Amino acid sequence: MKSRNAILGMSILALAAMIVPARYSAVTLAGQTKPIYQPTGSEGTITGKISFAGQPPQPKRIDESADSVCQAANPELVTEDVIVRAGKLANVFVYVRAGDTLDWYTFAAAQPDVSLAHHDCQYVPHILGMQIQQVLKIANDDATTHNTHFIPRKNPDWNQSQPQNAAPLEIKFKDADASIPVKDNQHPWEKAYVWVLSHPFFAVSALNGSYRIVGLPPGQYTVVAWHERFGEQSAEVSIGVSEKKELNFTFKKPED
């Protein structure tokens, strides 16, 4: 007859043999790549308009005398951090905050790359959204040398000069990053913001304040509207099967 200690030892070894495979399986599952979301036809849409309440700040004239090419190309250049027309606010970045439903999947990008350009000594567009897997191509449309300097929070700092007629520069971001400031060290008035997300559910408000986010899987979401001068607002929204929701935001000038 086996001793009590021997039986106890065998029991512990058997228990360990059961625990190790279970732990290994959990690690394997956790490390698996998320599936790519396949549209089912049940996706929803969020649309809306961004308004501005009160008297907006007036744009300021930009001194371009440091570069005669810029001065000739765009002599009436003004700041574009606040653009309000008929009470509607442009250049508001509206996006669905990642989490819950979106965390189960990866989402293919509609196109492989997106574009940013130095055009008439301004960044075009001023606000840009992209996905992690996309490549950002930066063009110099002007007859002068430009510089592009990204100052991310979660990605490496990136700083490149670009003479006229040069091929587009390319950059790809590894991690999602919010409102990355972009500046031109040679033309300090040139400013833009790039948002890098893990999904395609974002939009930038147009001159009439409108935005549209499509293809959203049914679920409960937090929608965020961000403006470089006026901060951000958020709202909770539930999207049902093939449902269309209207979600509007109103910004105002902060009190002094």
pLDDT digits (tens, 9 = 90+) for 238-249: 999 999 999 999
Whole-number Cα distances in Å, 129 to 8, 70, 232: 62, 26, 16
Whether the CB-CB separation of 213 and 202 falls below 8 Å is answered with yes
Residue 205: pLDDT band with limits 50, 70, 90: very high
pLDDT at 4: 43
Q: Three-state DSSP class for 104?
A: helix
Calculate the CA 90 to chain-centre distance: 16
User: What string of DSSP letters covers 142-167?
Assistant: SSS-EEEEE--SSS--EEEEE-TTPP
pLDDT digits (tens, 9 = 90+) for 26-42: 222 344 588 999 999 99
Mean pLDDT over 88-100 rounds to: 94
Q: HSE-up of 106 (CA within 13 Å, CB side)?
A: 11
Token code pair at residue 107: 């989402």
